[in-house]
Amino acid sequence: MSAALDLEDVRKVYRAGEGEVVALSHATLQVGEDEIVALLGPSGSGKTTLLSIAGGLLAATAGRVLVGGRDISGATPGELTRFRREQVGFVFQAVNLVPFLTARENLLVVDEIGGRRKGPESRARADRLLEELGLAHRAGNLPGQLSGGERQRVAIGRALMNEPRLVLVDEPTSALDTRTGTQVMELIRTEVKGRGTAAVIVTHDTRMTRWADRTLHIDDGVLSAVPAAGPEGGDAEA
């Protein structure tokens, strides 16, 4: 069985003006088929860079990237577009819903762009997701007519529309209060686990890592394991 995501010694160097920024250095990471990994680290540590490389949005400078056992490191732009459409669900740091489409239409657009199922099957799927996410009563609202937490939930629904193998979530709770953030994290876990999908969830809030199976720390582009918390997620210190 192949891992949902396999990063092998991935390095990413950005060139900016005269200098360079090493955003990822020797990143090695395996995420199991139905595993949720939290990626915790300060601003500028390389979290979004790692997600972007894992999802085929950005090419690594060196190293190998395998998703579901398939090496995407040398893929053409066309292959990457298809790969993202079929295998990956993204929830970005800034929720980027289409402002002139309703919540429901923001989900349906995934199937339309993908040229996938259309019509009743698509609509039933969108409606089921909206229901699960507690948004059935907001299905006809535009993003501007939704709260921050509701918008984030629409973005989660949209990321699940293509039945992805790998869900990549960037700071899902940064703009939300603790209570709403907690609800959003619970929902992500329920939805991802219910589908047997893998997920990498980026955060810089340690409280949000308890919904993950495993937490990794990233600092200055270097990944390291975080020791497992004690029983019931209590602090293991002392």
Residues near ligand ATP (CB under 6 A): 14, 16, 21, 23, 41, 43-49, 93, 204
CB of 2 to ligand ATP, least distance (A): 26
Nearer to ligand ATP by Cβ, of 45 and 197: the residue is: 45
18 vs 198: CA distance, rounded Å:
39
Q: How far is the CB of 91 from Mg ion (least distance, A)?
A: 12
CB of 39 to ligand ATP, least distance (A): 9
What one-character DSSP code corresponds to residue 109?
H
Cβ atoms of residues 42 and 217 within 8 Å: no
CB nearer to Mg ion: give 185 or 202.
Answer: 202
* 46 interface partner picked from ligand ATP, Mg ion, none, CB below 5 to 8 A per type: ligand ATP
Of residues 73, 88, 110, 84, the one with CA closest to residue 4 = 88
Asked whether position 48 contacts Mg ion by CB under 5 A, the answer is yes
Minimum separation from the CB atom of position 27 to ligand ATP (A): 11
DSSP per-residue letters across 77-97: HHHHHHHHHHHEEEE-SS---
Query: Of 14 and 100, which CB lies nearer to ligand ATP in the complex structure?
Result: 14
Closer residue to ligand ATP, CB minimum distance, 162 or 173:
173
Q: Which does 76 bind (CB under 5 to 8 A by kind): Mg ion, ligand ATP, none?
A: none
Pairing between strand 62-67 and 70-71? Answer: antiparallel
Q: Determine contact, residues 106/179, Cβ cutoff 8 Å.
A: no
224 binds, among Mg ion, ligand ATP, none (CB under 5 to 8 A by kind): none
Question: In sequence order, which residues have a C-beta less than 8 Å from that of residue 16 and are 6 or more positions away?
Answer: none
CA distance 44 to 129: 33
Question: Which positions touch Mg ion (CB under 5 A)?
Answer: 47-48
